[in-house]
Amino acid sequence: MSRTEPEQIAPAKTSWHSRSVGSRLQHGIFYLLIHLGGRRAAYFLLYFVIAYYALLRPDLRRKGEPYLRRRFPEASSGALFRHGCRLLLDFGKVLVDRAVVGILGPERMAVRLHGREDLLGLLAEGKGLILIGAHVGCWQAAMSALGFLSTPVSLLMQREDGDIDRHYFEHAGRECPYRIIDPRGFLGGSLEMLDVLKRGEVLSVMGDRLLGSDKNAVTVDFLGDPVRLPFSAYKLAATTGAPIAVLFSAKTGPASYELELAKVIRVPAVVGRSGAAFAPYVAEFAAALEKFTREHPCQFFNFFDMWQYDRTK
């Protein structure tokens, strides 16, 4: 549970957006290297790019500092610099891996899933399945490993103008294998998400970033301080009876990932309607995510100050 009541904290104005870093030409150079020399060639160039951004574009490196200061509270300024560089490097490798999956094929990336039978069992309950992930590892490589579910998957995903990053299926010239639900649509896409679950299908959402109104968030603790996280998925679970599977991916080798069913959350139908009623279940997700950051400290890629609040409201 959080130390502060939700109505006592309001989020500060932020400038977060999902637009890509770099130009189309710069992205294209990486894609060309992958075509010609594979993952290793792209990684080689990546080290020089990260050195440039770390030394000459410190504003980008500092985007990870709100997280790193809490993950490494005893770190010196020099240690924080090294952690920031490592965070950027690991993020760059994930972006390369995502392109590799699309350009060279998913067989170039080994994805090991822990919890396959559990996921099948949850889906077999017939009430739909909510997958809650986070900006960790390479979620697209993870999603490419879920074909065994043999049911349509819908993603709640916002893509802005100016975002030139290609998804893995775009590299392959294929249509998106998932149905995209835009949170900027009517009622934040809640009716579409409800329909997905009523059909017994899979709904995938991110649990570590709020899209839309702050009214859809509750306050929970994460890495020692309060953050605001969305509760809409938990409300849908209470409405439909759908189980929630917390699913995280982690890069474990140059060409390998592990996809782990970190936790199963069940929200009872009688939990209530207010956001505060869902805080204990959101806190379960936050605790699972915190455990992930302990095990993989440089694979949390939410480059956004989750702890930034205007406490005067």
Q: Tell me, yes or no, whether 306 lies in a domain.
A: no
57-70 tens-digit pLDDT = 888 888 999 999 99
CATH at 243: 3.40.1130
140-166 tens-digit pLDDT = 766 777 888 889 999 888 765 555 465
> What total number of domains does the chain contain?
1
Helix axes 232-240, 190-198, angle to 10 degrees: 40
Mean pLDDT of the chain: 85
Euclidean distance between CA atoms 28 and 102, whole angstroms: 14
So what's the pLDDT on residue 35?
92
Confidence (pTM)? 0.87
In 3D, which of 142, 26, 46 has the Cα closest to residue 88? 46
Q: What are phi and psi of 177, to 5 degrees?
A: -75, -5
Q: Does pLDDT of 220 surpass 80?
A: yes
Q: Show the tokens assigned to 99.
A: 């392109």
List the domain range (segments joined by +) for residue 63.
Answer: 24-295
72-113 tens-digit pLDDT = 999 999 999 999 999 999 999 999 998 888 888 888 888 899
Q: Tell me, yes or no, whether 313 lies in a domain.
A: no
Euclidean distance between CA atoms 214 and 208, whole angstroms: 13
Q: Tell me, yes or no, whether 124 lies in a domain.
A: yes
Q: Show the tokens assigned to 137.
A: 């590892």
Q: Tell me, yes or no, whether 291 lies in a domain.
A: yes
Q: Tell me, yes or no, whether 228 lies in a domain.
A: yes
Q: Tell me, yes or no, whether 155 lies in a domain.
A: yes
In 3D, which of 269, 288, 224 has the Cα closest to residue 72? 224
Q: Where are the alpha helices (DSSP H) in 131-240?
A: 139-143, 168-171, 190-198, 232-240
User: Mind giving me the DSSP string for 217-250?
Assistant: EEEEEETTEEEEEE-HHHHHHHHH---EEEEEEE
Confirm if 11 and 214 have CB atoms less than 8 A apart: yes
Q: Tell me, yes or no, whether 238 lies in a domain.
A: yes
Pairing of strands 110-114, 179-181: unpaired
Q: Show the tokens assigned to 156.
A: 């709640």
So what's the pLDDT on residue 273?
74
> In which element (H, E) is residue 49 found?
helix 24-56
Q: Tell me, yes or no, whether 149 lies in a domain.
A: yes
